[in-house]
Amino acid sequence: MESLAMTIAASAVAILTPFLKKGAEKFAEEIGKSVEESGGEAGKKLGEIVVDKTKKLFDKLKQKLSGNEESEMNLRLLEKDPENEAYAQSFQKVLARELDNDKNFAQEIDTQIKEIKQSNPQVKAIIEKAEAENLTGIRAKRISGGSNVESQITDSKARQNLTGIDVDEIG
């Protein structure tokens, strides 16, 4: 069974990897763009919130791990090459050990991760008792990873096509 510290560390690495791959500005631009396309100005603001919270998570980890040579080295390697799976796994193990040793720190990081996940775009369409030629709950060009998308169609009829969710690209 995986420890809570390892689960938190895995979540942190999963959140930070795209942030580190693209750099903060590119990450903000990409999230803002994809969310803005589907959510207008409110979506753009939501993207900024996710970026800000992700940066705070990274800064918190960097601050806490400073002074620990092994932790710092693993974080630097991940920061330098976030696509390197070996670096990600090494950092995850070192972070899990730190989280295991400091329960307050683990709680703080877990809380930050939950806040980031809750800030990700959420789209829900509920259609009840509708009748149309073609009926689609949600139609999107692109849905970013981490988005929560749900479509419920009940007691409805479409003469030709009934589609819950129609997305061109997920990623």
What local confidence, expressed as pLDDT, does residue 137 receive? 77
What local confidence, expressed as pLDDT, does residue 1 receive? 42
Q: Which residues contact 54 (CB under 8 A, 6 or more apart)?
A: 15, 16, 19, 27, 116
Q: Buried b vs exposed e over 78-106: b needs ≥16 C-beta within 10 Å?
A: beeebeeeebbebbbebbbbbbbeeeebb
Distances (CA, A) of 167 to 44, 85, 138: 20, 29, 8
Q: Could you state, in chain order, the average pLDDT of each consecutive group of 10 residues for the chain (171 residues)?
A: 85 88 62 52 64 90 93 93 93 95 96 84 73 80 65 77 76 56
What local confidence, expressed as pLDDT, does residue 122 receive? 64
For residue 138, the one-letter residue type is: I
Q: Which residues contact 79 (CB under 8 A, 6 or more apart)?
A: 20
What local confidence, expressed as pLDDT, does residue 31 receive? 57
pTM for the whole thing?
0.64
What local confidence, expressed as pLDDT, does residue 69 receive? 93
